[in-house]
Structure 1
């Protein structure tokens, strides 16, 4: 079964300095039918004006991934980390026992465009931590693991039975993914146009997949996607 989540049906917050789309319920946007998918709790697509951003605030007991699509972000947190993220960078912050952080647009001229993703960890009260890696230069037409439970193959280590993969597929090519029994997948279209098992998806569309043996991801234009394979 595949349940598609149309980009136009997402929640939206258009503020003075941020334009944000919510695939799942978040903050003032409440949709009981879309509270998340398995351990995947939040996918927000944010665009932040130059010099603005999210001032210091706190989180606990959440794995928070940030993937930068355009522009630059300056990260600061109560663990002492200060980092700059640019296009293709992925940040994984394990909020664990609690961490305060800020995420600001570090560019004076360009909007920052990024995805923020929350994954519920497998345990509460874990040590807080920070990881960052660039995935700007990836081989095309294959799934590349970005975050895994064991940090294999140079991926970031996430405290949950989930594999987060990134794929950039050239027009006319396809990528296949087998799904083990009992697991489910979420596909998030990041750029371009693709077909998921024959159904078209565009930037911002999502899809929850359960009780399917596998996925066929075919590029109708050059495209990019995130794939979450969850217990």
Structure 2
């Protein structure tokens, strides 16, 4: 199965005059029973936060929360005592587990652009924990770079309690990358810029392609393109 979801079909949410978001799955006031999750991937939001605005203190529980900063800065504070300013090229992982609170704010004059992905965990009742790394992935050329994973074959990146991996990718015009997978897994590709073919399906900026029962996901640059690839199990135990 391969399904193209054009950018025009995403739910666009404007919160006041300070936040613009694209929701790839049901979230907040948007609910579509046919679009709740993809394997354990429950939330995929593409956010833009204007300067001196952000999300006030709020709770999470039983979720793996991943933030990927594409541009600007984001200041994170939480009930575990962490206070960190994330910058472009940084990746943050939060295991909310039995529950914690945090806030996220853009304290600068400029817009912050980030992706936030939530995964249902493969273990419940975990102690809350936090991790972030500067991965400098934005200069990637013609390859996939893992950003966060729960697959132990990958190391030196933030670890989530889900048998899933998030990659940032770049493919040049006329270049091709093959991502090898298994028919028991699913793949989501979200185009950040440019134009590409995903298993011969054309995808433009902000389009997404969802694939199931594939051995290989072929990524071909129609024009220079950047994208996020999320590799998830078709069924995750214990979530």
Deviating more after overlay: 79-88 vs 200-209: 200-209
Partners of 1:151 and 1:191 lie apart in 2 by: 29
* Alpha-carbon shift at residue 72 of structure 1 (Å): 0.8
Match of 2:132 in 1: 132
Question: What is the match of residue 199 of structure 2?
Answer: 197
| Cα distance in structure 1, aligned partners of 2:206 and 2:100 | 29
Looking at structure 1, the residues matched to 153 and 101 of structure 2 have their Cα atoms a distance apart, in angstroms, of 24
* Paired residues, number: 230
Pick aligned residue for 1:209 from 186, 208, 211: 211
Q: Aligned-pair distance for 1:83?
A: 0.7
Q: Name 1:224's counterpart in structure 2.
A: 226
Aligned pair in 2 of structure 1 residues 47, 164: CA closer, same or farther (>3 Å)?
same
Structure 2 match to 1:172 = 174
With over 3 angstroms needed to count, the CA separation of the structure-2 counterparts of 1:139 and 1:22, relative to structure 1, is closer
Q: Offset of 1:178 from its aligned partner?
A: 1.4
Task: Determine if contact 2:197/2:220 at 8 Å carries over to the other structure.
Answer: yes
In structure 2, distance between residues paired with 1:96 and 1:19: 28
- Report Cα offsets for 1:172-228 as digits up to 9, x if no partner: 211101121311111111222211111221222112111122111012222211111
Give the SS at the match of 2:28: coil
**C-alpha distance in 2 between matches for 1:139 and 1:54:** 30
* Deviation for aligned residue 1:120: 0.6
Runs of 4+ displaced beyond 3 Å: none
Moved more, 9-18 or 147-156: 147-156
- Per-residue deviation, 1:139: 4.2
Q: What RMSD in Å do the two structures reach over aligned CA positions?
A: 1.4
Deviations 1:12-32 (A, max 9, x none): 211221111100000100111
CA distance in structure 1 between the partners assigned to 2:122 and 2:199 by the alignment: 30
Task: Report if the CA contact (8 A) 2:120-2:162 is conserved.
Answer: yes
Aligned to 1:106: 107
Contact 2:4–2:201 (8 Å) recurs in 1: no
- Cross-structure match for 1:20: 21
| Residue of structure 1 equivalent to 2:236 | none
Q: Distance in 2 between matches of 1:20 and 1:191?
A: 16
| Cα distance change on mapping 1:82 and 1:151 into 2, 3 Å | farther
Q: What does residue 190 of structure 2 align with? A: 188
Mapped partners of 2:30, 2:165: distance in 1 = 27
TM-score (norm 1): 0.95
Question: Are the counterparts in 2 of residues 145 and 153 from structure 1 also a CA contact under 8 Å?
Answer: no
Deviation, 1:142, is 1.4
Quote the Cα distance in structure 1 between the aligned partners of 2:48 and 2:22.
9
Cα distance in 2 between the residues matched to 1:162 and 1:220: 28
Normalised by the length of structure 2, the TM-score is 0.91
Who is 1:163 aligned against? 165
